[in-house]
């Protein structure tokens, strides 16, 4: 009988199921994976070193480009670390706006995840459904910051500007006649908050729709139940955070356990899995979308009733209003100093973590008192998750590798940094 | 918050004794410094003693102190900073360990204590040239195949040393010395700000 050896296959870096530029060296025994060796770094841009070479405020935009499907949460971690070092107090309204956009981002991220995860393991329709809702969420981003994805909206000491009073509307064109435009603008007649309110009314039904497609679906269950099982002990050992850790049954969520901003004033629940397989993580993320919707709704209600400043009133770290800059000498000097040299951050170190849609996103900031960070370390949740790839796929079939990549919710912008 | 961490600091000093070289409580965070030789002993106790229960290594990163305060740093140049998290006790802890030799920085590996250290140590090795003694697979992770140098060291230029382009004559991708000029738009400025006097360390 001929002797059969293990053989090695190369998966990626250009593969539709690799979620970017993952290169996997898989050692196979027949169709069973014996060893997986992920090669990362193909998208390495040295964000941390770049940040060390420019004033603090100029790196906020880089944070969007880390995990490019949950932009504002990345910014949040970064500005929180600087605020911690500066000792800056953020106005309450800005905190609510941040929390609201964090949760909008969470839905945005989870929709992207369910779309691509579904696409990878044979549920094509999910992708189209998820992108339908993402469009509205990205309109919210655009209304508030002018950009659909890379918003650069959060600032040290608050947010860049208050929520707009008018929602941008569609205009008549050669593709859309009067009736079309009227229908498309139906929920855009009021302010941004009205638009978000309308979204929170609609969204739970959308989640129900996704669940009818997947939760009881036989194919979906066969592809996810019992795949990539991680015990709670191993999940902690491997540095798992976020839905990956909760899927394994560990009740740990920074929003509840170490609340930041106004999460301690809001009412929401933390879903936890039981078996720690791909299916449980799917259920956790689906429930997280519902809970995020609840949080958004509470924020909308609060923001409607409570106008106020959205930026700290300290012109050493926040730009003075345009009028003050044009009319007064002091405002002009503040503006000039802030946009040329930036601000000095006191010597010391801080670690600020937020509950990012993918897990714990942390920023470790070491300052030596200069106007630029001395060392910035980005703790990306995906990096720890991907490092467990070998353990999670060992003994599974080749097709399950794709399911595990999907369930880890891998995005290379944050892993390679 | 700070009171909680002051209590934790006292507890750690009590239980670990001489293993802790220095400890600082600032901004609601606790940092301890441990000698490289004592690292494994200290980390094992921090994980296993139930009053600490640091069951998760959240982050590990290298730091190069070469140009700290524009060159005013005295002491070892390289350090590894560990961020620990206790899920059971809801506590965080930062541990710093300096590598004694600046030319050949070595620290013991903590992969046997926390599995997540594997890739983090590879990253610190790749970017800073920190060596982790006993690591099962200390390869480069983020930089290119065949990369030379450790890019996050402070003496490594931001532009790098080589750039890559397609050469139509040789009909392949080649490396060449960088052609862009180093440029600093905003200089690095440290001011003694009276508002922050007495803060920090």
For residue B194, is it within any domain? no
Nearest to B58 among A237, A349, A360 (CB): A360
Percent of chain A with pLDDT over 90: 51
Instruction: Flag whether B74 is in a domain.
Output: yes
Q: Which residue has the tokens 């998760």?
A: B56
CA angle A276, A384, A241 (to 5 degrees): 50
- For residue B73, give the 3-state DSSP assignment: coil
Q: Show the 3-state SS of B127-175.
A: HHCCEEECCCCCCCCCCCCCCCCCCCCCCCCCCCCEEEEEECCCCEEEE
ipTM rounded to 2 decimals: 0.89
Task: Work out the pLDDT band at A1, boundaries 50, 70, 90.
Answer: low
CB contact under 8 A, B69 and A238: no
Quote the pLDDT of residue A6: 82
> How large is the average pLDDT for residues A352-374?
91
Determine contact: B191 vs chain A, CB below 8 A.
Answer: yes
Q: What is the mean pLDDT of residues A174-197?
A: 90
A12-16, A137-141, A279-283: which has the minimum mean pLDDT? A12-16
Scanning every residue of chain B, which has its alpha carbon at the shortest distance from the alpha carbon of A83?
Answer: B27
b/e sequence B81-96, b meaning 16+ C-beta within 10 Å: bbbbbbbeeebbbbbb
Test A366 with B63 for CB contact under 8 angstroms. Answer: yes
pLDDT at B201: 46
> Token pair of A48, please?
């941390």
Give chain A positions within 8 Å (CB) of B190: 344, 368-371
Best of B188, B195, B197, B198 to substitute, by most chain A Cβ atoms within 10 angstroms, is B188
Residues of B with CB below 8 A from A376's CB?
A: none
- The residue ranges of chain B whose pLDDT is under 50 are 200-201
What distance, in Å, lies between the first and last C-alpha atoms of chain A? 49
Nearest to A84 among B27, B87, B151 (CB): B27
From residue A281, how far is each of A226, A356, A359, B199 by CA, in Å?
11, 15, 12, 44
Whether B90 has its CB under 8 Å from any CB of chain A: the answer is: yes
- Name the domain count of chain B: 1
Q: What is the pLDDT of residue B199?
A: 56
Contact A362 B115 (CB under 8 A): no
Q: What is the pLDDT of residue B52?
A: 86
Q: If you average pLDDT over residues A374-402, what whole number do you get?
A: 91
Please choose, from the candidates A181, A118, A154, A104, the residue with its C-alpha nearest in 3D space to the C-alpha of residue A312: A154
Is residue B77 one of the residues assigned to a domain? yes
**CATH code where residue B82 lies:** 3.30.460.80
B184 CB within 8 Å of a chain A CB = yes
* Option in B115, B141, B191 nearest A41 (CB): B141
Inter-chain touch A364–B144, beta carbons under 8 Å: no
- Read off the pLDDT of each residue in A319-336 and give the average, rounded to a whole number: 90
What's residue A5's pLDDT? 76
CB–CB contact A347 B196 (8 Å):
yes
Residue A285 pLDDT > 50: yes
Task: Give SS3 for A236.
Answer: helix
Any domain includes B177: no
Among B27, B59, B200, select the one facing A364 at the smallest CB separation.
Answer: B59
pLDDT at A272: 92
Region A356-361: mean pLDDT is 92
Domain of B28, in residue numbers:
2-158
Is B198 in CB contact (< 8 Å) with chain A? no
Please say whether the beta carbons of B186 and A341 come within 8 A: yes
Q: How far apart are CA B52 and CA B38, in angstroms?
A: 17
Q: What is the pLDDT of residues A57-115, one digit of tens each?
A: 999 999 999 988 999 999 999 999 999 998 888 999 999 999 999 999 999 999 999 99
Q: How close is the nearest chain B Cα to the Cα of A154, in Å?
A: 22
Give chain A's mean pLDDT.
Answer: 90
In a domain, B199, yes or no: no
Q: Round to whole Å and give the CA distance between A180 and B2.
A: 59
Q: Would residue B54 count as lying in a domain?
A: yes
Q: What pLDDT does residue B186 have?
A: 86
List the 92-131 stretch of B: residues with Cβ below 8 A of A: 92, 94, 114-116, 118-120, 123
From B183's Cα to the closest Cα of chain A, the distance in A is 10
Q: What is the mean pLDDT of residues A300-327?
A: 89
Is B181 part of a structural domain of the chain? Answer: no
Please judge whether A370 and B189 are an interchain contact, meaning their C-beta atoms are less than 8 angstroms apart.
Answer: yes
- Whether residue A370 and residue B115 make contact (CB cut-off 8 A), yes or no, is no
In a domain, B187, yes or no: no
- Residue of chain B whose alpha carbon sits nearest to that of A54: B186
């Amino acid at each position: 009988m001929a002797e059969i050896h293990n053989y090695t296959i190369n998966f990626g870096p250009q593969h539709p199921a690799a979620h970017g530029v993952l290169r996997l060296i898989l050692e196979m025994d027949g169709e069973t994976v014996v060893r997986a060796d992920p090669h990362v770094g193909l998208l390495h841009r040295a964000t941390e070193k770049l940040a060390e070479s420019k004033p603090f405020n100029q790196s906020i935009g880089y944070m969007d480009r880390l995990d490019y499907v949950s932009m504002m949460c990345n910014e949040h971690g970064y500005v929180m670390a600087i605020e911690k070092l500066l000792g800056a107090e953020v106005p309450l309204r800005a905190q609510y706006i941040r929390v609201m956009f964090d949760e909008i981002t969470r839905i945005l991220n989870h929709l992207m995840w369910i779309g691509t995860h579904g696409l990878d393991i044979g549920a094509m329709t999910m992708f189209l459904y998820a992108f339908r809702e993402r469009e509205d969420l990205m309109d919210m981003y655009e209304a508030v910051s002018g950009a659909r994805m890379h918003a650069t909206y959060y600032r040290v000491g608050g947010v860049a500007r208050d929520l707009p009073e008018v929602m941008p509307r569609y205009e008549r064109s050669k593709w859309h006649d009067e009736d079309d435009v009227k229908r498309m603008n139906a929920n855009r007649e009021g302010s941004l908050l009205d638009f978000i309110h309308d979204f929170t009314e609609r969204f739970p039904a959308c989640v129900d729709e996704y669940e009818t497609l997947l939760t009881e679906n036989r194919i979906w269950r066969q592809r996810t139940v019992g795949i990539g099982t991680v015990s709670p002990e191993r999940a902690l050992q491997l540095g798992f955070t976020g839905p990956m850790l909760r899927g394994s049954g560990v009740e740990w969520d920074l929003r509840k356990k170490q609340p930041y901003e106004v999460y301690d004033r809001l009412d929401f629940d933390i879903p936890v899995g039981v078996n720690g397989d791909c299916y449980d993580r799917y259920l956790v993320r689906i429930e997280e979308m519902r809970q995020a919707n609840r949080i958004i709704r509470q924020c909308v209600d609060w923001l409607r009733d409570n106008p106020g400043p959205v930026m700290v009133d300290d012109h050493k770290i926040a730009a003075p209003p345009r009028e003050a800059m044009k009319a007064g000498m002091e405002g002009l000097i503040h503006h000039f100093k802030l946009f040329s040299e930036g601000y000095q951050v006191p010597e010391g170190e801080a670690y600020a973590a937020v509950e990012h849609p993918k897990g714990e996103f942390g920023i470790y900031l070491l300052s030596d008192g200069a106007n630029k960070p001395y060392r910035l370390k980005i703790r990306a949740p995906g990096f720890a998750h991907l490092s467990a790839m070998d353990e999670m796929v060992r003994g599974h079939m080749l097709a399950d590798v794709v399911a595990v990549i999907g369930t880890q919710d891998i995005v290379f912008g944050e892993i390679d940094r | 918050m700070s009171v909680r961490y002051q209590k934790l600091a006292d507890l750690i000093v009590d239980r670990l004794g001489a293993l802790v070289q220095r400890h600082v409580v600032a901004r609601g965070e606790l940092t301890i410094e441990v000698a490289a030789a004592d690292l494994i002993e200290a980390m094992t106790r921090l994980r296993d003693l139930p009053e600490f229960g640091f069951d998760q290594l959240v982050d590990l990163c290298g730091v190069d102190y070469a140009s700290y305060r524009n060159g005013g740093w005295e002491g070892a140049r390289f350090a590894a900073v560990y961020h620990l998290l206790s899920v059971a006790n809801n506590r965080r802890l930062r541990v710093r360990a300096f590598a004694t030799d600046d030319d050949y920085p070595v620290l013991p590996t903590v992969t046997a204590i926390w599995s997540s250290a594997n890739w983090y140590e590879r990253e610190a090795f790749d970017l800073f040239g920190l060596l982790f003694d006993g690591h099962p697979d200390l390869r480069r992770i983020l930089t290119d195949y065949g990369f030379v140098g450790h890019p996050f060291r402070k003496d490594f230029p931001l532009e790098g040393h080589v750039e890559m382009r397609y050469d139509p004559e040789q009909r392949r991708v080649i490396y060449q010395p960088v052609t862009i000029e180093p440029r600093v738009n905003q200089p690095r400025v440290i001011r003694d700000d009276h508002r922050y006097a007495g803060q920090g360390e």
